[in-house]
C-alpha cells in the first residue's frame, strides 16, 4: 500500500485503445490498494500539430498564447482517461495544471515549477479517488497558463510525487528502461536495473531521450524514488537512485551520443584580455547556447578558438562570428555541422583513474579521430565525425565491459 504517481508519455496514450490500456494498468494498481495519481502527456504528435497550427496562424506566435493552445493537448488526454476510468466504475477525476496548483515562473514555453500545492489532489486521493492530472502545464502566480517545455510531463510527475511525498514515481514510456546505450545503435546494449540521478542527468543532457532533465534534478533534490518502465509490458524497468546509496558501481554506466551540435572555429585570434567576451557576448545576445569551448594557444600571441552550438543555430552563429572575426582581427572563421558528440558516463569515474585514456585508446584503435574533448566529474565527451558516431558508441560499449552476455 502506498501513494504512487504514474506518468504516461505520448506513445502510451497515442490513441483510444492505448488510453484504455493505461486505464487498466491504473485500475490494477488501484485495486491493489494503492493511492494513484496519474500524470498524462498529450497523444503523440498532438503537440507538434498544435505548434504547426500556431505557425500557420502567424510566423511568430506569442509565447503566452502558444502555451494556452498547447495546454489543450494534455487537457484532452486527461479528460479521456478520467471518463474511461469512470466508465470502468472507478472514482476518477481529471485536474488541469491550475487545478492541481502547479505553480511555475512565467517563462512561457519553458516554465520552471516553483511549487506544487496540490491541495485538491491530496484531498481527492485521501478520498480514494484516482486523480488524473494534465502534465506539461502549470500556471504562474497571476493565473496565466504556462507549459514546461518538451518532455515537461516527466517533471510534472516527479514534482507532484515530491509534493505528495509519494512512495514512488513511475515514468511509463515506450522503452523498457534506461539502457547502457541506444539499442538501435548498439545491439549489445543492456537495460540498467539502477542508475544514479547524476548519471541520468548527464545522459539526459547528452541526448538520451528517456527523461526530461528537470525531472531528474527534481528527483535528486527531493529524493523521489523514480522508476522508468514500459507501458507495453510488465518488466521492472530502471530505478533512479541517489549516487551515494550504492558504492559497488561499474566505472562506466552508459554511452551516449548526440548529433545536435555544430562546431565553429576562429583561427588566429589575437590573444588579449577580454577577447573571449567579444567572441561569445554576441552569441549569447542572440539567445544561442554554447556548449563546449576549446582554446589552443599558438605561438606569437595568437590562439585558435573552437566551440559548439546547436545545429539549429549554426548558420546564425556563423554569421555573427564572421562579423566578430572582422572586428577583432581574427584570420578566419570555419564551421562544421557534420560532427557528433560521444560520451561515457559513470559515477564510478570519481574514484577510478584511467577512464579517459582507455576511451582515447579505444577510439584511436578504430581510427576514430577525436576533434574536441570535454569532461565533467562523471563524464568524458569526445566530438568525432558524424559518420563515425555509431561505431564509436559500439567500440566504447565493448571497451568498458558493458556488452550484454550472449
Name the residue among 79, 77, 55, 75 with its Cα closest to residue 66. Answer: 55
The answer to whether 386 and 259 have CB atoms below 8 angstroms apart is yes
Phi, psi at 305, each rounded to 5°: -125, 125
CB closer to a copy of itself out of 64 and 404: 64
Minimum CB separation from a copy of itself for residue 152, in Å?
Answer: 18
DSSP state of 42: P
CB closer to a copy of itself out of 144 and 302: 144
Give the distance from CA 110 to its chain's centroid.
Answer: 13
19 binds a copy of itself (CB under 8 A): yes
| Start-to-end CA span in the chain (Å) | 38
DSSP states along 172-239: EESSSS-BSS-TTT-TT--B-SEEEHHHHHHHHHTT--SS-HHHHHHHHHHT--EEEEETTS----EE
The three three-digit cell numbers of residue 406, written as one number = 550472449
> In sequence order, what are the residues at sequence separation of 6 or more whose Cβ sits closer than 8 angstroms to the Cβ of residue 165?
3
CB closer to a copy of itself out of 84 and 179: 84
CB closer to a copy of itself out of 46 and 211: 46
Minimum CB separation from a copy of itself for residue 86, in Å?
Answer: 4
Number of residues that bind a copy of itself (CB under 8 A): 37
- CB count within 10 Å of CB 54 equals 17
CB closer to a copy of itself out of 93 and 394: 93
**Residue 290, burial from CB neighbour count under 10 angstroms (0-12, 13-18, 19+):** middle
CB closer to a copy of itself out of 98 and 179: 98
Scanning residues 28 to 87, which ones bind a copy of itself (CB under 8 A)?
53-54, 56-62, 64-66, 68-69, 71-72, 75-76, 78-80, 82-84, 86-87
Helix (H) or strand (E) holding 198: helix 197-205
CB closer to a copy of itself out of 62 and 126: 62
Say whether 11 sits in a helix, a strand or coil.
helix
CB closer to a copy of itself out of 127 and 193: 127
In total, the chain counts a number of residues equal to 406
Say whether 279 sits in a helix, a strand or coil.
helix
Q: Are strands 137-139 and 145-147 parallel, antiparallel or unpaired?
A: antiparallel
Among 89, 143, 274, 300, binds a copy of itself (CB under 8 A): 143
Q: What angle do CA 353, 196, 115 make, to 5 degrees?
A: 135
Minimum CB separation from a copy of itself for residue 26, in Å?
Answer: 15
Minimum CB separation from a copy of itself for residue 29, in Å?
Answer: 20
Minimum CB separation from a copy of itself for residue 58, in Å?
Answer: 4
Range in contact with a copy of itself (rule: CB under 8 A) among 15-23, 107-115, 259-267, 305-313: 15-23
Among 113, 118, 145, 240, binds a copy of itself (CB under 8 A): 145
- Order of strands across the sheet that contains 332-336: 293-297, 302-310, 261-270, 332-336
Among 16, 277, 284, 364, binds a copy of itself (CB under 8 A): 16
CB closer to a copy of itself out of 79 and 373: 79
**Interface mask (CB under 8 A) for a copy of itself, residues 274-313, using x and -?**
----------------------------------------
CB closer to a copy of itself out of 110 and 120: 120
Minimum CB separation from a copy of itself for residue 137, in Å?
Answer: 11
Q: What is the CA radius of gyration of the chain?
A: 23
Please state, in angstroms and rounded to a whole number, the distance separating the CA atoms of residues 2 and 22.
19
Please state, in angstroms and rounded to a whole number, the distance separating the CA atoms of residues 84 and 234.
22
CB closer to a copy of itself out of 74 and 313: 74
Minimum CB separation from a copy of itself for residue 287, in Å?
Answer: 19
Among 34, 93, 212, 341, binds a copy of itself (CB under 8 A): 93
Minimum CB separation from a copy of itself for residue 105, in Å?
Answer: 18
The answer to whether 238 and 227 have CB atoms below 8 angstroms apart is yes
**Interface mask (CB under 8 A) for a copy of itself, residues 95-114, using x and -?**
-x-xx---------------
DSSP states along 361-373: HHHHHTTPPP-EE
- Residues of this chain that interact with a copy of itself (CB under 8 A) are 16, 19-20, 53-54, 56-62, 64-66, 68-69, 71-72, 75-76, 78-80, 82-84, 86-87, 93-94, 96, 98-99, 120, 143, 145
Amino acid at each position: 500500500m502506498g501513494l504512487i504517481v504514474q506518468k504516461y508519455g505520448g506513445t502510451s496514450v497515442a490513441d483510444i485503445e492505448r488510453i484504455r490500456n493505461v486505464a487498466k494498468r491504473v485500475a490494477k494498481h488501484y485495486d491493489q490498494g494503492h493511492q494513484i495519481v496519474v500524470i498524462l502527456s498529450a497523444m503523440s504528435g498532438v503537440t507538434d500539430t498544435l505548434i504547426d497550427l500556431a505557425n500557420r496562424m502567424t510566423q511568430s506566435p506569442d509565447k503566452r498564447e502558444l502555451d494556452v493552445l498547447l495546454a489543450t493537448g494534455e487537457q484532452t488526454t486527461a479528460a479521456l482517461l478520467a471518463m474511461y476510468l469512470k466508465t470502468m466504475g472507478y472514482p476518477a477525476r481529471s485536474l488541469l495544471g491550475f487545478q492541481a496548483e502547479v505553480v511555475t515562473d512565467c517563462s512561457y514555453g519553458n516554465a520552471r515549477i516553483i511549487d506544487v500545492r496540490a491541495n485538491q489532489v491530496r484531498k481527492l486521493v485521501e478520498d480514494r479517488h484516482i486523480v488524473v492530472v494534465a502534465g506539461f502545464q502549470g500556471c504562474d502566480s497571476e493565473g496565466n497558463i504556462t507549459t514546461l517545455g518538451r518532455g515537461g510531463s516527466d517533471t510534472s510527475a516527479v514534482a507532484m510525487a515530491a509534493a505528495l511525498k509519494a512512495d514512488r514515481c513511475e515514468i511509463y514510456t515506450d522503452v523498457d528502461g534506461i539502457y547502457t546505450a541506444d539499442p538501435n545503435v548498439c545491439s549489445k546494449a543492456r537495460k540498467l536495473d539502477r542508475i544514479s540521478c547524476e548519471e541520468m542527468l548527464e545522459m539526459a543532457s547528452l541526448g538520451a531521450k528517456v527523461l526530461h532533465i528537470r525531472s531528474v534534478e527534481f528527483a535528486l533534490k527531493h529524493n523521489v524514488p523514480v522508476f522508468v518502465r514500459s507501458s507495453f509490458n510488465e518488466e521492472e524497468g530502471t530505478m533512479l537512485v541517489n549516487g551515494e546509496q550504492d558504492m559497488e558501481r561499474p566505472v562506466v554506466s552508459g554511452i551516449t551520443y548526440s548529433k545536435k551540435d555544430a562546431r565553429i572555429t576562429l583561427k588566429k585570434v589575437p590573444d588579449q584580455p577580454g577577447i573571449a567576451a567579444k567572441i561569445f557576448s554576441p552569441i549569447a545576445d542572440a539567445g544561442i547556447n554554447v556548449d563546449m569551448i576549446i582554446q589552443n594557444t599558438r605561438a606569437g600571441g595568437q590562439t585558435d578558438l573552437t566551440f559548439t552550438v546547436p545545429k539549429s543555430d549554426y548558420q546564425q552563429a556563423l554569421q555573427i562570428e564572421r562579423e566578430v572575426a572582422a572586428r577583432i582581427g581574427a584570420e578566419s572563421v570555419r564551421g562544421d555541422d557534420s560532427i557528433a558528440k560521444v560520451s561515457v558516463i559513470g559515477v564510478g569515474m570519481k574514484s577510478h583513474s584511467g577512464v579517459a585514456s582507455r576511451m582515447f585508446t579505444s577510439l584511436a584503435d578504430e581510427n576514430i579521430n577525436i576533434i574536441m574533448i570535454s569532461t565533467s566529474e562523471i563524464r568524458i565527451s569526445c566530438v568525432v565525425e558524424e559518420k563515425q558516431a555509431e561505431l564509436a558508441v559500439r567500440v566504447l560499449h565493448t571497451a568498458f565491459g558493458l556488452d550484454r552476455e550472449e
